[in-house]
């Protein structure tokens, strides 16, 4: 059983979100109904450089799509993974090879071996968290509604 808490540290999450500029999304789908597409769209809209990695596509979100992380011709700050957990060790090795700063594994992408490979290469590992949700929580507007302020209220002001 993986101890997920160590891969969900709020300060590490915030550091990754606030320092990253380029995010390679492994498993990004061209299907607008898929979570990966929505996350990529959201991140691009919020100023990140999104690099699609999917061997079945040539372009997603108006960006050139690469078959593998090893084909990406520019620096990658975060490798965001939308793949089955058993693909994670190979993706972690590729993320280490290209010198990425962090390996971010979406909900359900849990693999201890992949996490260990990335950590041993010096990458920050975030696991079983959604990059879009965490961005909204720490850098977007969600915190204006009460998240992470230690106060969520239904008290209404103004007209009753």
| The total number of residues written for the chain in this structure | 160
pLDDT tens-digit readout, 16-26: 999 999 999 99
Distance CA 29, CA 80 (A): 13
Q: Are 138 and 147 in contact (CB under 8 A)?
A: no
Q: Quick one: pLDDT at residue 35?
A: 95
Greatest alpha-carbon span in the chain:
59
Q: Quick one: pLDDT at residue 149?
A: 46
What is the pairing mode between strands 59-60 and 102-105?
Answer: unpaired
Task: Return the exposure string of 103-137: e unless at least 16 CB atoms fall within 10 Å of the residue's CB, then b.
Answer: bbbbeebbbeebbebbbeeebbbbbebbbbbbbbb
Cβ contacts of 85 within 8 Å, gap of 6 or more: 108, 109, 110, 111, 114
The alpha carbons of the chain give a radius of gyration, in whole angstroms, of: 16
Q: Quick one: pLDDT at residue 3?
A: 84
Q: pLDDT tens digits for the chain (160 residues)? A: 568 999 999 999 999 999 999 999 999 999 999 999 999 999 999 999 999 999 999 999 999 999 999 999 999 999 999 999 999 999 999 999 999 999 999 999 999 999 999 999 999 999 999 999 999 988 876 654 444 444 444 455 555 4
pLDDT tens-digit readout, 55-85: 999 999 999 999 999 999 999 999 999 999 9
- Which pTM does this prediction carry? 0.87
């Amino acid at each position: 059983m993986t101890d997920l808490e160590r891969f969900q540290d709020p300060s590490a999450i915030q550091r990754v979100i606030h320092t990253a500029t380029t995010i390679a999304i492994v498993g990004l789908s061209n299907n607008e109904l898929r979570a990966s597409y929505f996350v990529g769209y959201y991140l691009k809209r919020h100023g990140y450089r999104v690099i699609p990695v999917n061997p079945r596509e040539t372009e997603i979100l108006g960006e050139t799509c690469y078959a593998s992380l090893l084909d990406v011709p520019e620096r990658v700050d975060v490798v965001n993974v939308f793949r089955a957990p058993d693909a994670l060790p190979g993706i972690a090795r590729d993320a280490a090879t290209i010198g990425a700063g962090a390996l971010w594994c979406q909900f359900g992408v849990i693999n201890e071996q992949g996490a260990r490979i990335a950590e041993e290469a010096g990458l920050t590992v975030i696991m079983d968290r959604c990059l879009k949700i965490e961005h909204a929580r720490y850098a977007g507007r969600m915190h204006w509604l009460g998240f992470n302020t230690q106060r969520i209220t239904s008290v209404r002001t103004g007209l009753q």
